[in-house]
Structure 1
Amino acid sequence: MKKSILFIAAMVFSTTFVTAQEFVYFGAKGGVNFSTFSGDGWSDFEDESARTAYHLGLVAEIPLSDRFSIQPEVLYSAQGYDIVEIEDGNDLEHKLDYVTVPVMAKFYLVKGLSLEAGPQFGFLADHEIGTGENDVDVSDDNINKFDLSLGLGASYKFNNFFLYGRYNAGMTDIYDIEGVEAKNSVVQAGIGFLF
């Protein structure tokens, strides 16, 4: 699976470089994730809470016109949800970490301010249940290794820095369990740098 992830990342960035070599901006970004799930079939978790974690990775921006760009990314995204909230302690969480490859179409409303939308391809990198201490690995049998999401967001660029917010709505089920429909639901915010 790691070879597949590296191959996709290499293809995205090499295609980007070849098609618009002199206009491509590369950079890095990172920030906070507030992730939970949406769907049916979880009667025991009617009051599910968000897991607060992080995302970090590389980004490229390919301007196709004055107002339109394509922005491919490769990120490590720590997602999941709280199973149980523990007062005065660490919550019990199902941690679902992905290597994600978003490909966003960006439309600039005014100089610096853009709206973005596009697909995100996620590949399960790690998953476990725990409180942060003595986490337990769980079986891969009922967890889908691939996650498709739709990303919607906005960003504001000033000089070489940019601030952004994005919502990733899961389109595929997290679990391969009949009668259970649970999809990733992730709000992201952060800062990036293009050079």
Structure 2
Amino acid sequence: MKTKLFIFVMLFFTVVSLSAQKIGVEAGYVNVNEVTNGSTAIFPAQVSGIRIGPVSETELFNNVDFRYGVVYSYLMSTFDGAISGTNHYNAHLIDVPLQLQLGFPIDNSLKLFAFAGPNLNFGISQKTLNVTTIGSSEIKTTYDRYKIDTDDDDVYDVNRFDLQLGLGAGAQYKNVQLRVGYNWGLLDLNNRDNVDLKRNQLAASLVFMF
């Protein structure tokens, strides 16, 4: 899975590099909020992290761009275990935003813009390490979210792929952008019949265009 995802990302970025009119690097903050009726004892319902990746803009019409990219997110959290010990959570995710962006120029150096469109989200890894101290010993247990099969039906509980719908706004001064956007998860990521799981995310980023 990781190899296929890496190949996909590299091919996508190659196409972007060859066809793009503008290329940039995006970096910033991301907050992921999961809406579920299941347990959040092992994996946090809300977690923050950082994001970075290449992006590109292709002009379709005057002040109308098609924006796309490949953005990596790293999430991390430490919280109390449900029964004992401390949980250390980390996740690695890839976003592929496909956005229509509308610009509103203020002058030659400054413009405002709004954007909307789908976001493809791929989960590379989500793991929680529980560390419990008993006397002078530490007991460490690792939970891999993408390899948990609660019902023993040979189907993992959580899907790696998510389709989200997002919108946002920002401002650009010369070649620097400030962007804030929100993505709503459209798919139920949990394969169990009695559990629903949707993932939403807020992102705030700086983008340096070249």
TM-score tier after normalising by the smaller chain length: 0.7 to 0.9
Partner of 2:176: 161
1:137/1:42 Cα in 2 relative to 1: closer, same or farther (>3 Å)? closer
1:105 to 78, 97, 100: 100
**Contact 2:13/2:70 (8 A) holds in 1:** no
Question: Matched residues in 2 for 1:73 and 1:135: separation?
Answer: 36
Q: Which runs of 5+ in 1 are unaligned?
A: none
Aligned residue for 1:4, secondary structure, equals helix
Question: Matched residues in 2 for 1:85 and 1:161: separation?
Answer: 42
Question: Matched residues in 2 for 1:117 and 1:184: separation?
Answer: 18
TM-score scaled to structure 1, two decimals? Answer: 0.78
Partner of 2:9: 9
Q: Percent identity?
A: 22
State the superposition RMSD in angstroms.
3.1
Aligned residue for 1:126, secondary structure, equals strand
- 2:121 partner amino acid: G
- 1:138 partner amino acid: D
Aligned residue for 1:172, secondary structure, equals coil
Of the two, which has the highest radius of gyration?
2
**Contact 2:77/2:90 (8 A) holds in 1:** yes
Partner of 1:121: 120
**Contact 1:36/1:79 (8 A) holds in 2:** no
1:18/1:92 Cα in 2 relative to 1: closer, same or farther (>3 Å)? same
1:178/1:51 Cα in 2 relative to 1: closer, same or farther (>3 Å)? same
**Aligned-residue offset at 1:68:** 0.4
TM-score scaled to structure 2, two decimals? Answer: 0.73
Question: Matched residues in 1 for 2:40 and 2:32: separation?
Answer: 18
Question: Matched residues in 1 for 2:98 and 2:117: separation?
Answer: 6
**Contact 2:170/2:178 (8 A) holds in 1:** yes
Number of positions where the alignment pairs a residue of Structure 1 with one of Structure 2: 185
**Contact 2:30/2:203 (8 A) holds in 1:** yes
**Is 1:74 aligned with 2:74?**
no
The structure 1 segments of at least 4 consecutive aligned residues displaced by more than 6 Å after TM superposition are 80-83
